Amino acid sequence: MTIPFIGLTSSCLPHQILYIASTASTRHLPGPWYSRFTHYRLKKAVVSGQRVFYIDSLHKKYGPIVRLSPHEVAIADLESFKEIHKIGTKYLKDGWYERLANFPKRGIFTMVDPREHGPRRKLLSRSFSRSYLVENWEHIVRAKAQLAVSKIKTAALSHVADVYNWWMLLASDVTAHLAFGEPFGMLEVGHANQFMRVLKALTMGAGIMVEMPLLRILRFVPITRVQEMFNGNEYLLKGADRAVEMARSRTGEANVFAKVIEDSEKEGEGHIDDMDVRIEAMNVIIAGTDTTGVTLTYLTWAVLQRPELQAALEAEIATLPDNFKENDLIPLPLLNAVIEETLRLYGAAPSSLPRVVPQGGAKLGGHYIPQGTTVCTQAYTFHRDPNIWNDPLAFNPQRWIGTNEATPEALTPDAKTAFHPFGAGARSCVGVHLARMEMRYAVAFFFRECKGIKLGPRTTPETMEFENFFLIAPKAHRCEVTLRP
Ligand code: HEM
């Protein structure tokens, strides 16, 4: 019999456990005794959506360097964080990312080798640069944010609006439009379309398979929902043909990939074929939907719990001209401070970013860590470190405001380094400008059009507690607001 998670046969179990515990290359590091020979406890935290909390509790008990399993170590030391994520780092993404990829080729998120990732990154970065977005896509982002808020307002006036649903639809409608070059129209109808549903199911299936490979067997279960989770690739790749058609047609309103293809042909670098376009189109939608949707949901929740902050934000936004643009939003101190503080405490991706210790091993936080060990840093812990932030658990946008300007200059150098809601270094978020643009517009329209809006009675601190499956989400998967007295 094989023991799950440990992977040993019962006949030789005691010997093998002792062998692993005494030879594990991480055995000298601080950490719970059982982590010397098994990753079972860590896995339990992962599959129950508790990973960030479990690792944070270990840091509180054992310090900034903690063994999580015989081959995995969590790091909450700032100098080590800088070393691991610096530009040109030799700490590459862990094989976990490649195992997540369930399409015929790797894409920007799952590529590990910098020689493969670098050229792809360069191509996509241009299409998501702020200047390119402002010139070509800002009007679309603005119109969709405005539509999302008008839908929220209508629902909130008649009963309650679920902002979790509407902010998700906003984020997916924006990324889908950029990726495909035509609207998916989900905000109009109020729910996700079939393509988005299958894409989400498949992403969930990939997450399950990477943690519990034995569940691959579910691919044979003839239930539609299960089939979408484990066998949805073909349907999606066919649907993503539209992104290729639009990019190659160069007529009408092309998508971001028209530029990617044009740049790759012009410079002969980072060749991108039709399959790459299909896969990156889906990557952009996956990476840009729940991240932005969840962050906006927590922002709404955090502000609506604080009537004074809400009133101050509404007053600041009321000073905007009717046809405001993102350039009018960037100088608003409170609006930007609220976004930063939300990203600190409730940014949607605060979980481990696993990387591998390069050849020769490394000294991190005063400990030798052997080559090949997976090292994980998590924003959740850095963003709540009392040595870095005053009163770290308080939602306090004021900490971002220096001499009336919402700029990180008001922060200490340690806080500036530690703050990484969009990841760090060469693998940081390529969609950061798009995400900020969407959030600024959504917040501005919401607090301008829905003055005095309140949380619905069914939304409580308990329903908003978060679960963590790489990203975070409110446990209830809902956040209700109302404009009814
Ligand atoms: C508030 C919203 C967002 C947050 C908090 C966020 C966060 C992150 C984080 C933490 C990473 C690094 C992941 C890692 O190292 O494992 C990342 C990477 C990435 N993000 Fe975002 N993201 C957001 C929005 C977006 C949007 C709108 C897009 C759409 C283009 C996007 C596209 C990507 C891509 C393609 C990567 C992989 C980059 C690479 O490996 O070179 N993200 N994001």
Going from the Cα of 173 to the center of ligand 1, the distance in angstroms, rounded, reads: 17
* Residues lining ligand 1, Cβ inside 6 A: 108-109, 121, 128, 175, 283-284, 287-288, 291-292, 295, 347-349, 353, 421-423, 427-431, 434-435
477 lies in some domain: yes
Strand (E) or helix (H) holding 130: helix 130-136
326 lies in some domain: yes
Distance CA 161, CA 149 (A): 10
Distance CA 254, CA 271 (A): 19
Q: What is the pLDDT of residue 223?
A: 81
| Count of domains observed in the chain | 1
Which range of residues forms the domain containing residue 328? Answer: 107-350+384-418+421-482
Going from the Cα of 121 to the center of ligand 1, the distance in angstroms, rounded, reads: 12
Distance CA 160, CA 478 (A): 11
pLDDT, tens digit, 9 for 90 and up, residues 32-50:
999 999 999 999 999 999 9
Task: Tell me which of 138, 291, 420 to substitute to probe ligand 1's pocket, judged by most ligand atoms within 8 Å of the beta carbon.
Answer: 291
Average confidence (pLDDT) over 79-105: 92
Residues 6+ apart with CB under 8 A from 162: 155, 478, 479, 480
Asked if residues 45 and 51 have their Cβ atoms less than 8 Å apart, the reply is: yes
Pick the most confident of 15-19, 335-339, 412-416.
335-339
Going from the Cα of 124 to the center of ligand 1, the distance in angstroms, rounded, reads: 12
Which pair of tokens denotes residue 77? 């030391």
267 lies in some domain: yes
310 lies in some domain: yes
pLDDT, tens digit, 9 for 90 and up, residues 393-428:
999 999 998 644 445 567 889 999 999 999 999 999
Distance CA 293, CA 297 (A): 6
Pairing, β 362-364 against β 401-402: unpaired
464 lies in some domain: yes
Task: Tell me which of 84, 375, 429 to substitute to probe ligand 1's pocket, judged by most ligand atoms within 8 Å of the beta carbon.
Answer: 429
Sign of dihedral through CA atoms 458, 464, 467, 471? positive
* Longest Cα separation, the chain: 75
Which residues lie across from 367 on neighbouring strands?
364
pLDDT, tens digit, 9 for 90 and up, residues 259-318:
888 888 887 667 899 999 999 999 999 999 999 999 999 999 999 999 999 999 999 999
Q: Any idea what the CATH number is for the domain that residue 197 is in?
A: 1.10.630.10
Asked if residues 279 and 109 have their Cβ atoms less than 8 Å apart, the reply is: no
Pairing, β 362-364 against β 161-162: unpaired
What is the CB neighbour count within 10 angstroms for residue 452? 10
Going from the Cα of 314 to the center of ligand 1, the distance in angstroms, rounded, reads: 29
Residue 280 CA, closest ligand 1 atom number: 35
372 lies in some domain: no
429 is known to lie in a ligand binding site = yes
Going from the Cα of 292 to the center of ligand 1, the distance in angstroms, rounded, reads: 10
Better pLDDT: 362 or 235: 362
